[in-house]
Structure 1
Amino acid sequence: MTIEILPATGGRFDDAETALDSGDGPACQCQWWLMTSAQFRDESRAELAERLRTETQGDRAPGLIAYVDGEPAGWVRVGPRTAQPRLARTRDVKTATAEPLDDPEVWAVSCFVVRKQHRGTGLTRSLLDAAVSFARDAGARVVEGYPLDPTVTARSANQLFRGTVAVFTDAGFDVVDRPKPDRALVALTLRE
């Protein structure tokens, strides 16, 4: 199995769509963290897809696409936390983070999608490692994640779009806080 992870740029929009074709990915288009609940509810799937297309054509890729043997197999959203405004309005983030909410050097890994046929292969960890490298190369000081802990509360694979605590801690992230027993805010300092 050959894995390659590349930025979701304009020329890879169709691959991003294929990678998101699992769980809630097709319906969400990885726009949840960018909008208010009312905005999200009022947008059609086509409108959400157009938002993602516009993002991929911007100056910074909104995420990364994992390819397994040349085929799109997974997705991770990674970028400045300030570019994902719902995070700053989310109680679990606001009350748990040690970082200023308006700091553009704090990046967030907020969403994973791994296509069903590639689950259980370690692809989420590969996506996380690539996301950290992407953030580091872009000048991030800290990378945060907001994973769930399925050892506390059982979750379906679809509900684990935030990732799991174990994947993050195995990658060197520290648990900053547990706003709820089955939720964590984790962080990795890349530079002081």
Structure 2
Amino acid sequence: MSVEILPATSERHDDAVRAMAHGDGPGCLCQWWMVRPSEFAGLTAEDKARMLRDDLSAPVAPALVAYRDGAVAGWVRVGPRPAQPRIGRTRAIVAHTGEPLEDTDVWAVTCFAVRREHRGRGLMRELLHAAIAHARAHGARVVEGYPLDPTVKRRGAEDLYHGTVGVFEDAGFEVIARPRPDSAIVALTVADTDRRPQPAT
């Protein structure tokens, strides 16, 4: 079987929606991280649909869509942390991240969706590797993730949209904090830290 993972652009809007067809996907359209916590409950389905269309029209794709043998199979959101406002409003992340929240060269992988018929065959791993490559290609210095650990607390497949600790660790991420026993904050350096701006002397 062949897997192809491509940028989620306006031309792939319908495929992106199809990739999120199960679990919370249809009701969220991957907008959970894109607004402040107080705002999400007030969003209508039309609001989320409009926001997704706006996302996919951005100059740099905010996510990737996976195809297996030509069929839509999954989705992963990856982008700069400042562009995902809920990150900066999530206490566990704010308390434990090692990176300034305003840094645009710190990216985050925040949401996976894998269609039911494509689960159990390693697609989350492939999506994560593609997300890392996408982030690196567009100037990321560090990539963070906020996965769950189903070896500590069992979770249904629909609850694992954050990803799993094992998948991130297998991709080279380091666990930098455990806000809860069954959740982690993980980070991977993907570019030379010397690229960071140096203070004026």
Unaligned runs of 5+ in 1: none
Alignment RMSD, CA only? 0.8
Aligned to 1:64: 64
- Cα-to-partner distance string for 1:22-73 (whole Å, 9 max, x where unaligned): 1101100000001123321111222201110111012121100000111111
Work out which of the two has the higher radius of gyration on C-alpha atoms and give 1 or 2: 2
Amino acid at match of 1:93: I
Q: Equivalent residue of 1:110, what SS?
A: strand
Aligned to 2:36: 36
Aligned to 1:143: 143
Shift of 1:135: 0.2
Aligned to 2:104: 104
Aligned to 2:198: none
Distance 2:183 2:66 in 1: 26
Distance 1:94 1:36 in 2: 14
Aligned to 1:81: 81
1:104-183 aligned within 5 A = 104-183=104-183
TM-score (norm 1): 0.98
Distance 2:40 2:75 in 1: 20
Q: Equivalent residue of 2:93, what SS?
A: helix
Number of equivalenced pairs: 192
Amino acid at match of 1:33: W
- Cα-to-partner distance string for 1:70-127 (whole Å, 9 max, x where unaligned): 1111000000011001001101111111001111000000000000011110000000
Distance 2:8 2:160 in 1: 21
Distance 1:185 1:16 in 2: 26
Q: Equivalent residue of 1:151, what SS?
A: coil
Unaligned runs of 5+ in 2: 194-201
Instruction: Single out whichever of 46-55 and 118-127 deviates more from structure 2.
Output: 46-55
CA contact (8 A) 1:26 1:45 kept: no
Amino acid at match of 1:151: T
Q: Equivalent residue of 2:21, what SS?
A: coil
Distance 1:42 1:85 in 2: 16
